[in-house]
Chains A and B, each alone.
Chain A
């Protein structure tokens, strides 16, 4: 019997992966352990291996398309064996989206008439090559189409940028993965699309076929495409039931509700396959891979206030970045048990370094010195250089420090890699470059992912001290206040010193208070005796 090859989980955070390249073609012989495809995860490109011997009967996820972890991407079996319909018995469930009837006409999105036709087209069934919304950052679940760089009818070649997309972190370009003609744009500028959903269709070399899906609003599935071959047993889900009951209540399993909540998915837009239309895990997984920008189009029309009436507050849709910040902060505060430690640091010596650097025409900020010191302290206290991922603790071999940069609509934390090994002027130059590009939303994903600790400095706003929220999956954050003259007692004498309060927020699941305290003591010593930064 044909067995499915599933999208493997190749990183701790991976939920789905994109097939970059098939290394085997249908009909090829495959042996266990052999690499059959190259896959792009949220972190890197990796090879997928076969776990059995056999023949590659059918490829169900074409190059350039996404698949959720666990979903079949191909089928393996005996030579010449048939994989029917969406891939045979076992395939029916995950492959169903392709063969299944599109959403009933009731499905919303008046602004985008296209979605109804998408599932058929997305299957790569010959109506055009879908260009899907790529996952451009580890936390990205949807993106806003900022600008189309090509228009319908334009020729595009593989690797060419065709659109600009705003993710939760930055603006990035979407590239075409095939040659052809941009036949149809389905997500308009300003609209959102879920990761994995088609945003346009390319016509293949001929160019003619792609016109078809454009005006195919027909909700009825072509009869021929009906799944569930006669011997297909259990896995084929039942025909999609109505989304909600007449009362408007959405039925969903507790697990499906949790998944939808975690991924910011609107359950009313998901088709349930359980009894009475109950939405279950597989429906959520399906929705995440194929759902076109469902509720995105509902622009809140600001009603003009009648004279004499107090104006209602103006509602502005949140940007992608703000939405992700909101979600993650709501998750991290109750989810990650924080502990806080504060210490006053005498910065007189450190400030002198800055003055000396200035004399050498090297721009070093207080923050650069703090970054360097925090990195060196991390190197000395490796128990701080960790991150919790499920049931495992990652102990980092490198010291990568994030710097919190406030930008127009939120906050981003680019990473200074190997900050313990870099000199102050290198850190300074890198920090300035990263901050500048962050403000223009020009950072690449690898520039703001990873790291175990962030330095967040509000000293320039005159804030004396504050408590910062950890930026997951990092395990600690340093909140740095302003440097100001304070009276302190030294040897029984009142003296004036430049004091700065640093507050460490630690993830108490992986870092204990004593470790945090030792770390802060080391940081304080490094800053108060900056000569030590050289050793």
Chain B
């Protein structure tokens, strides 16, 4: 199996889907001539031409609206946001149009569109460029939200998203683009809505997604050295949530920590905790603990930026809390 970077895996998925289906096109800022702000679309302009790899002006609301219109009339657009922070400008098209078209037209219109781009913090970009906004989109009925952690999942989920008949939000980890991993060649599909047990364990479950998965792995390794066996569930899809997998891991370990990069209030993790407490209450041996970003705007200073985000030591402390081994 080839080892690819996360960005290369996305590039492969885009190229394969565009070859497969002439209705698929990519639009966004700098996706063509510049080969993508994060080089996800590298080489695609040469391959598919400017009619299908479309450089858009700085006008998120405009080109997102163009994408939604194109989807309504039968094309399958992929709209790249240079970062999800900028997509806030296009919120009206995403939320008021894409998410609601099927409902508002009584099922007569479809909107098979993918909105994708990087999210999350890291790299000293300060508060306007460092937000984990997945909870915003997961909030809306009519949207699907995916957030893969590994290159293989990135490829498989993007292919599923492009083939989906509904609008899909794909939040990529900005800090994950250069990360390498094995990626199956050709037809590799990861279904939307299925979580993945990335590590088997028996004492506690870490439930997470996207970049936080790597902090969880780091924490799990350290905890294992102390004799604590950690299971990691990578949700991969945030809407719809894979309740079955969440409940299965909690029923197995009886204790859970939910780790997310975003803010604590109304985060996706809060929903995960609600599922656990309402459907697996009798399987809990301790209250579920959440590890989230701090409830502040992101700092520019590197030390503060790190302090605001979850990391392995914070996850380890949370695990010890749910195992009643604080201070151990």
A contacts, CB < 8 Å to B: 89-90, 233-238, 253-258, 273-275, 278, 280-281
Interface centre among B227, B281, B323, B325 (most CB of A within 10 A): B227
Beta-carbon contact of A234 and B320 below 8 Å: yes
Task: Indicate whether A255 sits within 8 Å of B283 (C-beta atoms), given known contacts A234-B320, A234-B328, A238-B324.
Answer: yes
Are A254 and B324 closer than 8 Å at their CB atoms?
no
CA distance A45 to B285 in the complex (A): 32
> Are B254 and A281 touching (Cβ within 8 A)?
yes
Residues of B within 8 A of A233 (CB): 226-227, 328
Nearest Cβ in chain A — how far from B252, in angstroms?
12
B109 CB-CB contact with A under 8 Å? no
Do the beta carbons of A280 and B286 come within 8 Å of each other?
yes
B176 within 8 A of partner (CB)? no
A234 touches B284 (CB 8 A): no
Chain A residues near B320 (CB-CB < 8 A) = 234
- Contacts A238-B324, A274-B324 given: A253-B227 contact, CB under 8 Å? no
Across the interface, do A254 and B325 meet the contact criterion of CB distance under 8 Å?
no
Known: A235-B227, A255-B254. A281 touches B323 (CB 8 A): no
User: Within 8 Å of chain A (Cβ to Cβ): is B282?
Assistant: yes
- B284 is contacted by which of A90, A236, A238, A253 (Cβ under 8 Å)? A253
Asked if B228 is at the interface of the complex by the 8 Å CB criterion, the answer is yes
Residue of A nearest to B328 (CB): A234
Given A90-B227, A234-B320, 12 more A-B residue pairs with CB atoms under 8 Å apart are A233-B227, A234-B323, A236-B328, A238-B324, A253-B284, A254-B282, A255-B254, A255-B283, A258-B283, A273-B324, A278-B324, A280-B286
User: What is the distance, in angstroms, from B149's C-beta to the closest C-beta of chain A?
Assistant: 27
Chain A residues, Cβ within 8 Å of B328: 233-234, 236
Q: Do the beta carbons of B324 and A280 come within 8 Å of each other?
A: yes
* Beta-carbon nearest neighbor of A252 in chain B: B285
User: Given A234, A257, A274, which contacts B286 in the complex, CB threshold below 8 Å?
Assistant: A274
Contact among B227, B228, B283, B323 with A254 in the assembled complex (CB-CB below 8 Å):
B283
Within B74-132, which residues are at the interface with A (CB < 8 Å)?
none
The distance from the CB of B257 to the nearest CB of chain A, in whole angstroms, is 15
Q: A253-B284, A253-B285, A255-B283 are in contact. Are A275 and B324 (CB under 8 A)?
A: yes
Q: In the bound complex, do residue B284 and residue A254 qualify as a contact, i.e. CB atoms below 8 Å apart? A: yes
Q: A-B pairs with the 6 shortest C-beta distances?
A: A255-B285, A258-B282, A253-B285, A234-B325, A233-B226, A234-B328
Closest to A283 in B: B285
Contact pick for A234, options B228, B254, B281, CB 8 Å: B228
Q: B269-288 interface mask toward A, CB cutoff 8 Å, 1 = contact, 0 = none?
A: 00000000000011111100
Contact check, A280 vs B285: say whether CB atoms are below 8 A apart: yes
User: A1 to chain B: closest CB distance in Å?
Assistant: 8
Question: Residues of B contacting A238 with CB < 8 Å?
Answer: 324
Closest to B327 in A: A238
| Alpha-carbon gap, A280 to B284, bound state (A) | 9
Chain B's interface size range is 10 to 19
CB closest chain-A residue, reference B287: A253
What separation, in Å, do the CA atoms of A258 and B328 have in the docked complex?
Answer: 28
B281: which A residues are within 8 A, CB to CB?
A: 254
Closest chain A CB from B206 CB (angstroms): 16
Taking each of A89, A253, A258, which has the highest tally of chain B beta carbons within 10 Å of its own beta carbon? A253
Chain B interface SS verdict (over half): loop
Choose one: B227, B283, B284, B325; the contact of A89 (CB below 8 Å): B227
By CB atoms of chain B within 10 A, which of A90, A234, A278, A281 has the most?
A234
On chain A, the residues within 8 Å of B227 by CB distance are 89-90, 233-235
Across the interface, name the chain A residue whose C-beta is closest to B325: A234
How far is A235 from B282 in the complex, measured between Cα atoms in Å? 23
Q: Say yes or no: A253 contacts B226, CB within 8 Å.
A: no
Q: How far is the CA of A254 from the CA of B255 in the complex (A)?
A: 11
Which residues of B, 247-303, contact A by the 8 Å Cβ criterion? 254, 281-286
- Of the A-B pairs whose beta carbons lie under 8 Å apart in the complex, a sample of 16, sorted by A's number, is A89-B227, A234-B227, A234-B323, A235-B325, A253-B284, A253-B286, A254-B282, A254-B283, A254-B284, A254-B285, A255-B282, A255-B284, A255-B285, A273-B324, A274-B286, A280-B285
Q: Which residues of B contact A273 (CB under 8 A)?
A: 324
> What is the bound-complex CA distance between A257 and B286, given in angstroms?
12
Q: Mark B308-328, 1 if CB is under 8 A from A, else 0.
A: 000000000000100111001
Query: Roughly how many angstroms separate A234 CA and B285 CA in the complex, as a whole number?
Result: 17
Residues of A contacting B283 in the complex (Cβ-Cβ under 8 angstroms): 254-255, 258
Nearest CB in chain B: distance from A55 CB, A = 19
For A281, list chain B residues within 8 Å (CB): 254, 285
- Distance (whole angstroms) from the CB of A506 to the closest CB of chain B: 27
Select the residue from B226, B228, B320 with max chain A CB neighbours within 10 A: B226
A255 to B252, CA, bound (A): 12
Nearest-CB distance from B219 to chain A (Å)?
13
Q: Complex formed: what's the CA distance from A281 to B204 in Å?
A: 13
A254 to B284, CA, bound (A): 6
What CA separation (Å) do A255 and B284 show in the bound complex? 5
- Please, how many angstroms separate the alpha-carbon atoms of A454 and B80 in the complex? 66
CB distance from A494 to the nearest CB of B (A): 58
Q: Which residues of B contact A253 (CB under 8 A)?
A: 284-286
Q: Cβ of A89: which chain B residues have Cβ within 8 Å of it?
A: 227
Q: Which single residue of chain B is at the shortest CB-CB distance from A88? A: B227
Contacts of B282 in A (CB 8 A): 254-255, 257-258
Interfacial chain A residues near B226, Cβ < 8 Å:
233-234
> How many Å lie between the Cα of A404 and that of B282 in the bound state?
34
Query: In the assembly, what is the distance between CA of A345 and CA of B320, in Å?
Result: 65
Taken together as a complex, chains A and B put the C-alpha atoms of A253 and B228 apart, in Å, by 20
* Residue of B whose beta carbon sits closest to that of A70: B202
Chain A, Cβ-Cβ closest to B254: A255
Rounded to whole Å, the gap between the CB of A240 and the closest CB of chain B is 13
Pair A256/B324 contact, Cβ less than 8 Å: no
CA–CA, A90 and B282, complex, Å = 27
> CB-CB < 8 A to A235: which residues of B?
227-228, 325
**In the bound complex, CA of A378 to CA of B282 (Å):** 37
Shortest beta-carbon distance, A270 to chain B, in Å?
14
Which chain B positions have C-beta within 8 A of A234? 226-228, 320, 323, 325, 328
In angstroms, how far is the closest chain B Cβ from the Cβ of A516?
Answer: 29
Minimum CB–CB distance for A95 against chain B, Å:
13
Q: How far is the CA of A78 from the CA of B328 in the complex (A)?
A: 26
Q: Distance in Å from the Cβ of B23 to the closest Cβ of chain A?
A: 42
Chain A residues whose C-beta falls within 8 Å of the C-beta of B254 in the assembled complex: 255, 281
What are the residues of chain A within 8 A of B286 when measuring CB–CB? 253, 274, 280
- With A and B bound together, what is the CA distance between A258 and B284 in angstroms? 10
Residues of A contacting B323 in the complex (Cβ-Cβ under 8 angstroms): 234
Q: Which of B152-173 contact A (CB under 8 A)?
A: none
Residues on A with C-beta less than 8 A from B324 are: 237-238, 273-275, 278, 280
Which residues of A sit under 8 angstroms from B284, Cβ to Cβ? 253-255
